[in-house]
Amino acid sequence: ADADHGTGGIGGTGGTGGNGAAGRAGAATAVGVLPATGISSRADAIGGPVLWALVFCAGVYGGYFGAAQGVLLIGMLGIAFTDSLQRINAVKNVLAGLVNGVAAVVFIALTHIDWKVAGLIAAGSIIGGQAGARVGRRLPPWGLRLLIVCVGVAALVKLLA
């Protein structure tokens, strides 16, 4: 990345232009120190072992129970990384997919599966995932945040009711 563009990767400064010192720092923020201030970047200060431990815990929870796993991951990744919400959402989808794949293998190996019900859930997940990805890419960041908050609140109300 050159001086006018962010790194665009997870833990970087986001897309082109960036904002403030982080946007001008370019590749320097990817290693964790803002050159003008000497302060660690937000991604490196919060990410790392603590983030991975929390993501692991969310994965264990999500593999067994699954409710609101995506909301938990979006929250953790959104705090830890300075990338766009759409990219964080994509990383969340990959992580949730990995967790669900591992959980599926464990459940297939250790329990009895009702394949009719599992097939319906799989079809709904594939259709919902494709539709959600299309909507998530097209929404502006504020719209995606609003949608995430609404879904999170609805899930919380449903769980507590």
Q: What is the pLDDT of residues 65-93, one digit of tens each?
A: 887 898 899 989 988 888 888 889 889 98
Provide the pLDDT for residue 22.
39
Provide the pLDDT for residue 145.
85
Q: Is the pLDDT of residue 95 over 80?
A: yes
* CA angle, residues 16, 73, 96, in degrees to nearest 5: 100
Provide the pLDDT for residue 68.
82
Alpha helices in the chain (DSSP H): 20-25, 42-46, 49-64, 69-80, 85-110, 115-138, 141-160
DSSP 8-state code for residue 39: P
Specify whether the CB–CB gap between 67 and 159 falls below 8 A: yes
Instruction: Check: pTM over 0.95? Answer yes or no.
Output: no
Specify whether the CB–CB gap between 25 and 35 falls below 8 A: yes
CA dist., res. 4 & res. 26, Å (int): 7
- More confidently predicted of 46 and 92: 92
At 39, is the pLDDT very low, low, confident or very high (cuts 50, 70, 90)?
very low
Q: Is the pLDDT of residue 105 over 50?
A: yes
Token representation of residue 158: 């449903």
